[in-house]
Amino acid sequence: MRVYLFVLLLSAAGFAEVGLPSGEVRALGADDFFRHTGGKAYSESWDYFFVLDNGAKAYVTYSFNDASEITTQFSVWNLNGKSAAVGRKYPAERFWELKDKNTISIKDEYKMEGLPGKGHRVLFTADKDGKYFLDLKFTSAAAAQVPGDGIFTVSTNKMGLIPKKAGLFVHIPYGRVEGRIGVNGDTLSVKGYGYFDHSFQADEATKFVARSFIFTGSGNDRVAGRVNVTPSGEHFGYALSVKDGKSGVVLPAEVLEKGNNYNGKKFPSSLEVKWNELGGSGAGELPPLVLETKYQEKFPILGSIGLSKILIKLAGGEIYQLRGRSKTDDWGRVDWVLVGK
């Protein structure tokens, strides 16, 4: 059995250099939300990250892998003091795009309903070793933008001569949410805030990314987005910033650990991301995002979707999400996820 790794399933191998998206900063549209076709080893992922007012956090990922299999994954941390997770896999024909309704549906049990923004709804239902339920709607959403076409080019062969596409679209950098979450019949009404991004790669994820860093916040000053570190220590991604009332789009200029270039080989003990404003976006000069990476939860991705120890070993080992919260000097409270081995 071949193990397919969605966009967050990462390992350090290969060589990569990065080219930036083409075009001017723009608002996102329906074409950015729906599926992007790719090559034989193509993968695509829609990732949600919710921080709830009751102290819990919830995560939903829908991922299209190698154009043949769709994975659905839900996990919750500290919901009434408990944590739970479930993952399911389905053949690709269960993945439906209902473009007249601006909806993506997976066998009517998992949905992304409405274009990203105010009113966008996320539904997850699963019966597997228990009952799991999430139904959240964004009651507000900060404006989202993308640099150009949103497509970075990463040279994935050792000579660095064959650039391939890696797309990233931060659909909702921050928005208030409300709805219900249930585990094994214990269903709660919840409120909080959420983040939603969408990414795809035209080849195996392992050739593009060694570590991925997702971050968001709820303060008046905030920066939210995703930064990826390639196996060769380069970086790509972008973020949406709000500082002193000015909004803009920024690219990572440097990614540092204790003052040195962070190469992504291991999880960092701290991170510093310095920014370059994307010309004319309005962000202005911004302070770096500096935080300690002490995590609240260490979450095993492969184990949570039901892979056996043998298959995890064949995949090169478990992939973890370190999930945490840090207080920063310039950006207030930041909730984040770090992904890798």
Question: What pLDDT is recorded for position 173?
Answer: 98
- Does residue 153 fall inside a structural domain? yes
How many distinct structural domains can be found in the chain?
Answer: 1
Mean pLDDT, residues 91-100 taken together: 94
Range of the domain at 232: 18-340
Question: What pLDDT is recorded for position 14?
Answer: 42
Q: What is the pTM of this model?
A: 0.91
CB of 164 closer than 8 Å to CB of 153? yes
- Does residue 4 fall inside a structural domain? no
DSSP, residue by residue, 110-171: EEEESSSSTT-EEEEEEESSSEEEEEEEES-----EEETT-EEEEE-STTS--EEEEEEEEE
Q: Report residue 38's pLDDT band, with 50, 70 and 90 as the boundaries.
A: low
- Does residue 92 fall inside a structural domain? yes
- Does residue 50 fall inside a structural domain? yes
Mean pLDDT, residues 276-293 taken together: 84
- Does residue 192 fall inside a structural domain? yes
Report the CATH number that the domain containing residue 128 is assigned in CATH: 2.40.370.10
Q: How many CA atoms lie within 13 A of 337 on its CB side?
A: 27
- When the pLDDT of each residue in the chain is averaged and rounded to a whole number, the result is 88
- Does residue 10 fall inside a structural domain? no
Backbone angles phi, psi at 203, to 5 degrees: -155, -175
| Residues 6+ positions from 209 with CB-CB distance below 8 Å | 7, 10, 228, 229, 230, 231
- Does residue 73 fall inside a structural domain? yes
Say which DSSP state 307 is in: -
What one-letter code names the amino acid at 179? G
* Each residue's pLDDT tens digit, 200-259: 988 777 678 889 999 999 999 999 999 999 888 899 999 999 999 999 999 999 999 999
CB of 108 closer than 8 Å to CB of 95? no
- Does residue 316 fall inside a structural domain? yes
Most trustworthy range by pLDDT among 60-64, 160-164, 229-233, 321-325: 321-325
